Amino acid sequence: MKYEREVKVSTAKQQINFQTYGVNIGIESDGKFDVGKISCRLDDIFPNGFHIVERGKIEHQYSIIGIESEKYELYKNGQELFPLLTEENLIDYLASHLRNVVAEFAVGKVFIHAGVVGWKGKAIVIPGSSFAGKTTLVAELVKRGAVYYSDEYAVLDQNGKVYPYPKKLSIRGIIDKIRQLDIAVEELNGKPGIKPLSVGAVLITKYKQGMRTKINIQSRGRGVLEILGHSFAFRRNPQEVLAVLSEMVKNATIFKAERGEAAEFVDFFLEYIKNE
């Protein structure tokens, strides 16, 4: 995938147009917001790169309208997404929305909301929604030598192999319980993955305070049903998603776990799968 760091921004009604994973996106401003503040973040938002496209090819058009002092409205294809955003909230909200749109409409890849690490040459995929504790588990696994692939998406090809999506880990609890601090995997003494991996394990779990660890092995069919709820394109393209997920779990073990604190659970889980 071609990568371009420099994005040209016009000076009047500002507009940037780019493509990633086959999805064409435009972001425009009425001039009251500097679109350059988004363009300089694109390499963090899309760690596997993007390239410039012409205006006429845009499928997903975002518009930023200044409505009062340092407050903005955000639209997508003419529909209001959110009113009265501060600049900081606008950038964070738009970054998240852009990633999810690409995850839903990606060409040739299926995105699952999941954390992913490499362990002994196979991928461990941890599907889950926001606040389920994916990033915390991924960080603990990386600290124990796992290779970092993503704390947000499992990116799958048609054969069910998972590719790196090496964004910075968005860790809650450093600032407060809600806001995230982005930390490079190298700060955890970890390293990012490079090559696609077959999936060796799927870990379905959610944190609950005070919970004692309990792990069960599920059927692959049940595993696919659990993962479907975390796939972005299922409603739009169910047959493709089902086919890819079936390939993904073909040689994987599906674990469903009740767990408490991440560090203790990861030690238990790695010991549990040692002989798998």
Q: What pLDDT, on the 0 to 100 scale, is given for residue 182?
A: 85
Q: Specify whether 189 is located in the same domain as 87.
A: no
Residue 212 lies in a domain: yes
Q: Specify whether 164 is located in the same domain as 266.
A: yes
Q: Specify whether 84 is located in the same domain as 177.
A: no
Flag whether pLDDT at 6 surpasses 50.
no
Q: Specify whether 117 is located in the same domain as 182.
A: yes
Residue 54 lies in a domain: yes
Residue found under tokens 């997404």: 81
Q: Specify whether 54 is located in the same domain as 128.
A: no
Flag whether pLDDT at 79 surpasses 90.
yes
The total of structural domains in the chain comes to 2
Range scoring the smallest mean pLDDT among 50-59, 154-163, 253-262: 50-59
Dist. CA 148–CA 167, nearest whole Å: 10
Flag whether pLDDT at 78 surpasses 60.
yes
Helices (H), the chain: 36-39, 42-45, 87-105, 134-143, 220-228, 238-248, 262-272
Dist. CA 201–CA 249, nearest whole Å: 8
Residue found under tokens 């002092």: 69
Residue 174 lies in a domain: yes
The whole domain housing 206 covers: 110-272
Q: pLDDT tens-digit profile of 160-213? A: 999 999 999 987 654 445 566 788 999 999 999 999 999 999 999 987 777 788
Q: How confident is the model at residue 12 (pLDDT cuts 50, 70, 90)?
A: low
60 is written with which tokens?
């997903």
Q: What pLDDT, on the 0 to 100 scale, is given for residue 3?
A: 35
Q: Specify whether 50 is located in the same domain as 127.
A: no
Which of 22 and 210 is assigned the larger pLDDT?
22
Q: Specify whether 82 is located in the same domain as 207.
A: no
Q: What pLDDT, on the 0 to 100 scale, is given for residue 180?
A: 66
Range scoring the smallest mean pLDDT among 110-114, 210-214, 242-246, 255-259: 210-214
Cα three-residue angle 101-56-112, rounded to 5 degrees: 15
- What letter would DSSP give residue 88? H
Residue 24 lies in a domain: yes
Q: Specify whether 20 is located in the same domain as 151.
A: no
- Residues, the chain: 276
Name 69's Cβ contacts closer than 8 Å, sequence gap at least 6: none
HSE-CB for 28 with a 13 A CA cutoff: 13
Mean pLDDT value of segment 63-71: 88
Range scoring the smallest mean pLDDT among 104-113, 209-218, 221-230: 209-218
Return the CATH number at 93: 3.10.310
- What letter would DSSP give residue 192? B
Residue 228 lies in a domain: yes
Domain boundary residue among 74, 105, 136?
Answer: 105
Q: What are phi and psi of 34, to 5 degrees?
A: -80, 105
Q: What pLDDT, on the 0 to 100 scale, is given for residue 221?
A: 94
Dist. CA 98–CA 262, nearest whole Å: 29
Q: Specify whether 226 is located in the same domain as 89.
A: no
Mean pLDDT (the chain, rounded): 89
Residue 158 lies in a domain: yes
Dist. CA 167–CA 192, nearest whole Å: 9
Domain boundary residue among 105, 130, 155?
Answer: 105
Q: Specify whether 133 is located in the same domain as 253.
A: yes
pTM score of the predicted model: 0.89
Q: Specify whether 61 is located in the same domain as 116.
A: no
DSSP-assigned letters across all residues of 16-30: EEEEETTEEEEEEE-
Q: What pLDDT, on the 0 to 100 scale, is given for residue 80?
A: 94
Dist. CA 25–CA 209, nearest whole Å: 41
Q: Specify whether 253 is located in the same domain as 223.
A: yes
Q: What pLDDT, on the 0 to 100 scale, is given for residue 204?
A: 95
Residue 84 lies in a domain: yes
Domain boundary residue among 63, 89, 105?
Answer: 105
Mean pLDDT value of segment 250-254: 96
Flag whether pLDDT at 87 surpasses 80.
yes
Residue 1 lies in a domain: no
Return the CATH number at 199: 3.40.50
Name 220's Cβ contacts closer than 8 Å, sequence gap at least 6: 249, 250, 252, 254
